[in-house]
Structure 1
Amino acid sequence: MTIHQHPHVTDRDAHFVGGGIASLAGAAFLVRDGNMPGENIHVYEKLDVVGGAMDGAGDPDEAYLIRGGRMFNYPAYECTWDLFESIPSLEDDSRSVKDVMDEFNEAHPSYAKTRLMHEGERIDAGEYGLTSQHRQSIARLLLTPEPRLGDTRIEEWFDESFLETNFWYVWATIFAFQPWHSVAEVRRYMYRFLHEFPRLHTMEGIDRTKYNQYDSMILPLRRWLEDRGVSFEYGHEVTDMDIVPSRTGRTVERLYCETDSGTETVPVEPSDLVFVTNGSMTDGSSIGGMDEAPELNETGASWELWKSIAEDNPQFGNPSVFADNVTETKWESFTVTLHNTDLFDHIVDFTNEEPGNGLVTYLGSNWLLSTVVAAQPHFANQPDDVKVFWGYALFPDREGNYVEKPMSECTGREILQELCYHLQCEDRLPELLDDVTCIPAMMPFITAHFQPREPGDRPEVVPDGSNNLAFLGQYAEQPRDVVFTVEYSVRSAMTAVYEMLDLDREVPPVTKHYREPGVIADTVRAAYR
C-alpha cells in the first residue's frame, strides 16, 4: 500500500460494503483501536438486517430460521475472542459476550456419543479406519507446500477408499468438505485444528453460543456500534465503485448504491477508507416453506460487485473461480420449529444425544443428512414449550431414500418425511408433523470458499497499490488461517483496519498447535485407531 500523509482519523470517513461479521468487526476495531468516531463509519447492507451468515430470525408463531450454525474453538479463534471480550452482552452489560459463552460452555460441554449412525445403529466414529496408504497421503499433504498443490481436488489427492472412512465422514460433515473441493484447504484445516484431530468424533473441542449466533453475538455487537454512532444504511446494495488509477496507486472515489428510491451516489475522499466484503457464502439464498421448495439462484450482489471491480483490476482476485459453479458450491439446510415436540423427543431418544451435545450424521442417507439439536432455547424469544432443531445435507441433488426426489426439489414437509425414514419413525407419519414447521434454505455459494484455487484468486486484504480500499471476509487471502470460520472474517477485519490506519498494534498470530509435541503424539495415535 502506498503511504500518504492522511488527516487525523477524526476527519476521515469509513465505508463498509456489506453488513456481515467482517464489516461489523472492522467497524468495532476502527472505534476501539483506531479511535475513529462512530458517526464517521457507514455500513451499507442490501437487506434490512445485518449479520450475514451469522443469522437467526423468526418467532414461535411464524417459525424460526437459521441458515447455518457457526462452531467455535477456544484454543484457536484468537481475533474473535480479542473482539468479543470487549463487547458487553445483552443480558448483563457488566459481562462480555465471551464471558457468557464461557459460562454456557462450562454448563453445556460438547461430547457427542452418537456422531455417526447407520440404519438406526450407532457407529463407533472414534475408529477412524485409516489405512497405511491413507496415513501416508495425509503426511504427504502436510509436507507439501501449499503453492505446489495448486487447484488439486481432494478426490485427486486421496483414493476412493479414503472417502468412505469414518474419519472422512466425521471430517466432511463437521467442516462441509466435498470430494471436489480444494485439497489445499484441507491442508490448512489440518494444521489449524491438529489439536482437535484425536477428538473430532466427540466434538469436545467445539464451543457454542448460548443462543443462535445472531442473538448471542451479532445483536450485542450491533448495539455496541449503534451506541457509538455507527450508521447502518439498510436497503443499500452497492453495485459499483469508481476506482481511479494513478502513479501513486488506486483510489476509490465513489460508491453507487441501489435503494428503493433509486440510485444513490456516495462520494469518497482520497483519505477515506473503503472496506468491501467480496463474495458471501449466503448471498443468493432462497427460503422455502413447509409446502414449498426453495429456488436455486445462480448469482448474488456481492459476487456481481466483485466481478465488476476485478474486471479492470487483476490484483483484486478472480471471483469466477468461486462463483461460477453453483452445482459444486451449494447445499441445503432446514430449520424445524416444533409446537408438537414428539419428533424432537424421538430424535433425542433415537440418537441417545442430549440437546446441545453435537451433530449426528445418517450414513445411510443418499443426501448425507445431518441434524443438530442445540441446547434449548436456541432463540432468545423461544418459549419453553417450543423446540427448535436444525439440519443440512451435503448432496441435495441426489434422490432421497424415502422421498423419491432430490432434496433440492423438496418442500419442508418432504424433507421431514425423509428424515423420519432415517429416524425409523416413518410409520408415525403424518401425526409427527402436526404443528411442526420446516423451513428449507438453499444456499448456492455456501461452500464456494472451498473451490479449487490458485495463488492470486483471492485478493490480499490490502492489495498492492491500494490507497484506500481493503477486502474483508472469506475471500480475502490470509496465509495459514482457514475459511468457513468466524475467525477468518474477524481476522481479515483486524488486519485491514490495523494496516489501513498504520496502527502500532499486532494482529494475534495463528497459534501453531501443530508444533506441540503432545498434539503431534496424540494425532499419530488417533490416526491408527
Structure 2
Amino acid sequence: MDIQNKDRKAYFIGGGIGSLAGAAFLIRDGGVAGNNITIFESLPVLGGSLDAGGNAEQGYTLRGSRMLTLNIYECTWALFNTIPSLTDPNTSVYKETVAFNERIKSNSKARLIDKNRAIVDSSKLGFSMANRAELLKLSEASEEKLGNSSIYDWFSPSFFETNFWFMWRTSFAFSPWHSAVEFKRYLHRFMQEFPNVETMTGVKRTIYNQYDSMVLPLQVWLKSHGVNFLQESTVTDLDTEYGLDKNTGTEKVVVKNLVYENKENKETITINDGDLVFYQNGSMTDASSYGSMTSAPKHFTKEDSQGWALWEKLANKYPGFGRPEVFNSNISQSFWESFTVTLKDTAFFDQMEQFSGNKAGTGSQVTLKDSNWFMSFSLNQQPHYKDQPSDVQVFFTYGLHPDRVGNFVGKPMTECSGEEILRELAGHLKFDYDVVFANAICIPCRMPYITSMFMPRLKTDRPLPVPKNSKNLAFISQFVEIPDDVVFTVEYSIRAAQMAMYELLDLDLEIPPITKFDKSVKVELETVMKAFH
C-alpha cells in the first residue's frame, strides 16, 4: 500500500537554511505533517552558515553574510513570500525586505580605496583588449571544456590587476585558484549586475542580519507547524543497503537506520518504508573558530570537527555520491578570516561616512585593494541585530589573504588578535585608532572551508540532489550539482532542497526557473558597453 504523504517521516541532517527550507516545502507543498519532521543540528542554534550571535557587552559575532538580490533568487523569495515577518505578521519576509530596500538604497561611492586612502574611479574597469578577449573566451566556453581548470588558467596576469577583478572578486569571494566553471556561472547568473559593479546598486539587504531576518521567521513558522528540532545532536552514521525500487525495478541505496549522538546518549532511529532523509553534505563554515580582542582564533581542521566524516563514509561506499576530498583537502586555498566589530560610540561610522560620502546602509562594500590581507568591509543600516541597543553600532569585515603579513601589523591576519586587526584597518584608513576604536570589541573568526565549494572540480565531483542510485536519501547543500546556478548563495541551498523534495515525493509542481538575464539583449548590450568603458 502506498504511504500517504501526511504519514511520512522526514529527517534532516544539519540545521542550515537548506534543511529549514526543505522542511517548509514538505509541509507547504508535500502535505507532510510538521510533527513527522525532525531536524538534527550539531550546534546549539539553527541556521548553519547564516548565523549571528553574541551581544553588545561581549561583542556580536557574524561568520559571514551572503549577498542578496531581489530580481533573482527565485526559489528563495517564492518561499519567503509565504513566511510571515516577525515584525509584522500581516506581511511576508519577502514583502518586508522589498519595502526596506525601497527605503534604504545602495549606491556605493567608495567601492575601492588605494594605499594612499584615495577613492579609486572604479567606473573604469581597467580591461585591456586582451583581457576582454579572455573574458569573452571563458564566458563562452562549455563547462566540459573548462573542466576542473582554475580561473588563472584562462587569464593573463594583468587581468588580476584590473578594477573589475578587485570588485567582482570581493563581491563574491573568488580567488585566482578557484574554479573557472564557477566563475563562468557567476558571470552569467549576475550579468545584470556587471554594468553596476562599482556602485552595487543591485545588491539588496534584509532589515537585520540574515539570521534574524530569514532564519528566525522560518524557524518560528516551522515550530508553529510542529517540526521537531534536535539541537546539539550530531548524526554520526546512516545504515544503508541496496534495495529494490518498485517504481523502476532497479536496485537503489536505501537508508534503513539513522544514528545520532547528543550529550546524554546515542540513539538509533529506524527509517521505515516511505520515510525520507535529507543530508546537508559538507559545510563552508565547518571547523570555524573565534578569537577575541586579545587572542587569535585557533586553527581547526576537519579532524577536529568531524564535519565531513559522514559524507566521506557515504561517498567511499557509493558511486554518484560525490567526492568530498576535492573540496576539503586544501585549506590554504579555501580559507579566509572574517571579523565582527561592536562599537560603543559613533566615531568610526562618523568618519567613514564623511570620508566615503555614504551613509551606513547605502555604501555597500568597501575594498582596500592594496591591503596585504585584501580586506573589505561594509557599514549596514543600524541596528544590524534585532536586540542591538540604540547606542551600539556593528559592522562586518573580512580578509581574503589572511595568511599574509599585514601592512601595519607585522604578522599574518590568522595570528592576530581583534585589537591587532583593528589597528591594521585603522592604518589603511589613516584613522586614529584611539579615537575610532577606543570602545570597540573585535571578534575574529577563522573559517578553513569558507570557499571550499569554489575549488576546481568536475561535474561528477558533486552528487545530484537525489543521486540516480538513491531511493530515500537526498543531498541539499552547497556541494550538490545544479545546472547553471551558483554556489555560495542562499538560493543554491534552497533550490537544492526544493528539487530534492519534489523528486522524492514525485510532485508534479514547477520549481521557479532560473532567470536568464544573460539572454537579455539589453543586459548584454549594457555589459559590452561597460566592458569598454
Spell out, residue by residue over 1:436-481, the C-alpha distance to the aligned partner (whole angstroms, 9 max, x if none): 1000011111000100001210000000121100000100110000
Cα distance in 1 for partners of 2:455, 2:95 equals 36
Matched, 1:151 2:148: yes
Q: Secondary structure at the match of 1:123?
A: coil
Aligned 8 A contact 1:238 1:256 in 2: yes
Contact 2:70 2:98 in 1 (8 A): no
Q: After alignment, is 227-236 or 259-268 more displaced?
A: 259-268
Structure 1 residue 137: deviation in Å? 1.0
Q: Which residue of 1 aligns with 2:215?
A: 218
Quick check: 1:354 aligned with 2:354? no
Structure 2 Cα separation of the partners of residues 431 and 351 of structure 1:
18
- Does the residue aligned with 2:207 lie in a helix, a strand or coil? coil
Q: Deviations over 1:325-376 (max 9, x none)?
A: 1111000000000013322322222222211120000112100111110011
Query: Which residue does 1:209 correspond to in 2?
Result: 206
**Matched ranges for 1:515-526 at <5 A:** 515-526=519-530
Residue 306 of structure 1 pairs with residue 311 of structure 2:
yes
The residue correspondences of 1:58-457 to structure 2 (distance < 5 A) are: 58-118=54-114, 119-247=116-244, 248-299=251-302, 300-357=305-362, 358-425=364-431, 428-457=432-461
Secondary structure of residue in 1 paired with 2:77? helix
TM-score after normalising by structure 2: 0.97
Measured in 2, the distance between the counterparts of 1:408 and 1:26 equals: 36
Written as runs of structure 1 = structure 2, the 5 A alignment for 1:24-43 is 24-43=20-39
Residue 510 of structure 1 aligns with an amino acid whose one-letter code is I
For 2:520 and 2:435, locate their aligned partners in 1 and report how far apart those are by CA, in whole Å. Answer: 54
AA aligned opposite 2:255: V
Task: Give, as a single letter, the amino acid of the residue that structure 2 aligns with 1:184.
Answer: V
Aligned to 1:23: 19
Aligned CA distance change for structure 1 residues 28 and 135 (closer, same or farther; 3 Å) = same
Tell me which amino acid in the other structure corresponds to 2:268: T
**Could you tell me which of 11, 20, 45 is aligned with 2:7?**
11
For 2:180, the aligned partner's letter is: V
Whether the 8 Å CA contact 1:113–1:353 is kept in 2: the answer is yes
Query: In the alignment, which of 494, 501, 504 is matched to residue 505 of structure 2?
Result: 501
Please tell me the residue identity of whatever aligns with 1:515: K
User: Amino acid of the residue matched to residue 12 of structure 1?
Assistant: R
**Distance (Å, rounded) in 2 between the aligned partners of 1:6 and 1:522:** 54
Deviations for 1:116-165, whole angstroms, at most 9, x for unmatched residues? 00121000111001111111111111221101111111111111100000
Match of 2:531 in 1: 527
- Which stretches in structure 1 are left out of the alignment for 5+ residues? none
Deviations along 1:43-101, one digit per CA (max 9) or x if unpaired, are 00001100011111122112111111112112210000110000000011110000110
Taking the aligned partners of 2:336 and 2:133, their CA distance within structure 1 comes to 31
Q: Deviations over 1:203-230 (max 9, x none)?
A: 0111110000011010000000000000
- Matching residue's letter, 1:51: G
Report the residue type matching 2:209 in the other structure. Answer: N
- The correspondence for 1:476, drawn from 475, 480, 483, is 480
CA distance in 1, matches of 2:498, 2:33: 17
User: In 1, distance between residues paired with 2:224 and 2:436?
Assistant: 46
Q: Per-residue CA shift, 1:385-428, capped at 9, x if unaligned?
A: 11111100100000000000000100000000000000102xx3
Mapped contact 2:459–2:481 kept (Cα < 8 A): no
Does the 8 Å contact 2:110/2:356 carry over to 1?
yes
SS in structure 2 opposite 1:354? coil
Paired amino acid for 1:129: G
1:432, 1:136 → 2: CA distance? Answer: 45
User: In structure 1, how many angstroms separate the alpha carbons of the residues matched to 2:133 and 2:229?
Assistant: 51
Q: Any runs of at least 4 consecutive aligned residues in structure 1 with deviations exceeding 4 A, and if so which?
A: none
Deviation per CA, 1:3-24, whole angstroms, max 9, x where unpaired? xx74001221000000000000
Mapped to 1, the partners of 2:243 and 2:33 lie a distance apart of: 30
Query: Could you tell me how far apart the structure 1 residues matched to 2:497 and 2:318 are?
Result: 21
Tell me the amino acid that sits aligned with residue 271 of structure 2. Answer: V
Q: CA deviation at 1:107?
A: 0.4
Letter in 1 for 2:33: P
Q: How does 1:38-53 map to 2 (within 5 A)?
A: 38-53=34-49
CA contact (8 A) 2:16 2:47 kept: yes
Q: Secondary structure at the match of 2:327?
A: helix
Q: RMSD of the TM alignment (CA)?
A: 1.1
What CA deviation, in whole Å up to 9, does each residue of 1:285-319 have, x standing for no partner? 10111111001211144311111111111210000
Cα separation, 2, equivalents of 1:192 and 1:302:
30
8 A contact 1:237–1:301 mirrored in 2: no
The Cα shift of 1:234 comes to 0.6
CA displacement at 1:431 relative to structure 2: 4.6
Q: Tell me if the contact between 1:350 and 1:423 (Cα under 8 Å) persists in the aligned partners.
A: no
What's the secondary structure of 1:507's corresponding residue? coil
Once the two structures are overlaid, the 10-residue window that deviates more, 25-34 or 338-347, is 338-347
Shift of 1:236: 0.8
Whole-angstrom distance in 1 between the partners of 2:212 and 2:300: 27
Q: Which amino acid aligns with 1:261?
A: E
CA shift for structure 1 position 246? 3.3
Moved more, 368-377 or 240-249: 240-249
Count how many residue pairs are aligned between Structure 1 and Structure 2. 523
| Equivalent pair of 2:347/2:435 in contact (CA under 8 Å) | no
Instruction: Output the CA distance in 1 between the equivalents of 2:243 and 2:211.
Output: 42
Q: Tell me how far apart the structure 2 counterparts of residues 459 and 229 of structure 1 sit (CA, whole Å).
A: 31
What percent identity do the matched residue pairs reach?
47
Residue aligned with 1:23, SS? helix
